[in-house]
Amino acid sequence: MSWPFVAASPHATEDRHDRESVTAQPSKSRRGSLWAAAAVLLLIGGGTAIGFAVTANDPPPQPPASAASPSPTDVTATPPPSTPPVAAAQTTGPIMSAATPTQVSIPAIDVDSTLMELGLNADGTAEVPPLDPAAPAGWYRGSPTPGELGPSIVLGHVTSNTGPAIFYRLGDMRPGDEVTVARDDGTVAIFTVDAVEQYPKADFPTQKVYGNTDHAALRLITCGGVFDGAAGPHLDNIVVYASLTDGGQ
């Protein structure tokens, strides 16, 4: 398995307790680190194999072509890299202040996982969860915390070193499914899935996935598609797009 971004930003390793609570827009440091991550797309995928297929002919569940529902909160497909911060008057839906995520629950695919924090390795590549089959999903701390304005990034393996991993069934998700994220301030952020999409790693839509949004968004990302042992692990990425619908708990 490979991940669709890495980051090499001085802001990405900021201590989480130094983050300002978000009101109208995400902090410049988090925006910078997330765009730095997007700018060096697939650096890990170019040389690191960190997942194994269950069998070459038995790929994990894949989303159907129709697993996307148009929504006024959908991310613009190709915003320019210079997309300005979203003004307060342009934001939609609930917005929460910053709080580190600790748990993610996805009833539709029987996922209930703690969340480890993922940062950067010494060489600037993104950290990934362990390959152990019991390994949790991970929140990339260079992105907004779930519930803040902007796309919060959660990564999980599709397969482990012995079989299915935490996000093996991510491709089974459908629009309308709920994702619940518990946070370390005692609050719970509830997201509703807008779309489930699959992309070739060679044509990953960086700006669509990581670009500014006018709402609190969540991205769940794993690998998918055909397993090609010669070219590397799975050839695609599966991305679940979700929007915050309840941030008052």
Domain boundaries, the chain: 16-70+92-246
Q: What percent of the chain has pLDDT over 90?
A: 47
109 and 98 Cβ atoms separated by less than 8 Å: no
Of the ranges 89-103, 120-134, 164-178, 192-206, which one carries the lowest mean pLDDT score? 120-134
- Which of the given ranges, 29-33, 113-117, 123-127, has the highest pLDDT on average? 113-117
Architecture of domain 16-70+92-246: Beta Barrel (2.40)
Q: What is the pLDDT of residues 31-67, one digit of tens each?
A: 555 544 543 333 333 333 334 444 444 567 767 654 4
Mean pLDDT of 67-73: 37
Label residue 61 exposed, middle or buried (CB < 10 Å: 0-12, 13-18, 19+): middle
Q: What is the pLDDT of residues 179-224, one digit of tens each?
A: 999 999 999 999 999 999 999 988 999 999 999 999 999 999 999 8
What pTM was estimated for this model as a whole?
0.73
* Distance, CA of 183 to CA of 195 (rounded, Å): 24
Mean pLDDT of 83-93: 66
Q: What is the pLDDT of residues 222-246, one digit of tens each?
A: 998 766 555 556 789 999 999 999 9
Q: How confident is the model at residue 121 (pLDDT cuts 50, 70, 90)?
A: confident
Of the ranges 67-71, 75-79, 192-196, which one carries the lowest mean pLDDT score? 75-79
**What is the pLDDT at residue 87?**
57
